[in-house]
Amino acid sequence: TGASFPASRTMISGNSLGGYLAIELFLKNPETFCGLGTAQGAFGPQQAARYALAVQQATARVGRRRVEILTSSFDPYRRQNEAFHQHLQQRKQASRLRVSPGPHDQRWLNESGVIEMLLCADDVFTGQRAEASRFARSRARCSGPLPPPSIASRPRPLPRTRIAPGRRGRVRTLT
């Protein structure tokens, strides 16, 4: 048997064709994931509106999920990713678009894409902790004071990394 993770700690994301697959898998099983990420998602222009509608319908069934969209300045799929974000915004779906400099290639993925998507995932998980904390505080008004937070529930600091400019304005991480 494999390890299983709670949906509240499972985000699906992919790059290029993997971004397209991440969207498709998310739509098939939205209850399995707390968020969706696509980096330079390779899908056609006609799919942006259809995907936004499908994400809206899926989240109406299973609850709010955040969508993180990454693309780059010279990505041939940039317009589709931007359109996907715009359609999600029109449908009041929580989403964020980030555009960084660079082409649609493995180098961009290694130097910028992976780091950005990990930061997106951390934002999704941090946002969940903040929402849970707000919920707990609102319930505490009705049921008495909150107990002090345990060491396990405190957010852990991110590992220390230094970000330096890479070639052609891209970002690379030095540990």
Its pTM surpasses 0.95: no
Q: How confident is the model at residue 83 (pLDDT cuts 50, 70, 90)?
A: very high
Average pLDDT score over residue span 131-150: 43
**More reliable by pLDDT, 172 or 108:** 108
Give the percent of the chain with pLDDT over 90. 49
**More reliable by pLDDT, 75 or 167:** 75
Beta bridge partners of 98: 70
Residue 61 has what pLDDT? 94
Average pLDDT, the chain: 77
> Longest C-alpha distance within the chain, in Å?
56
Q: Which two tokens stand for residue 170?
A: 């891209």
**More reliable by pLDDT, 168 or 11:** 11
Q: What share of the chain is helix, strand, coil (3-state, %, to 5)?
A: 50, 20, 25
Residue 137 has what pLDDT? 44
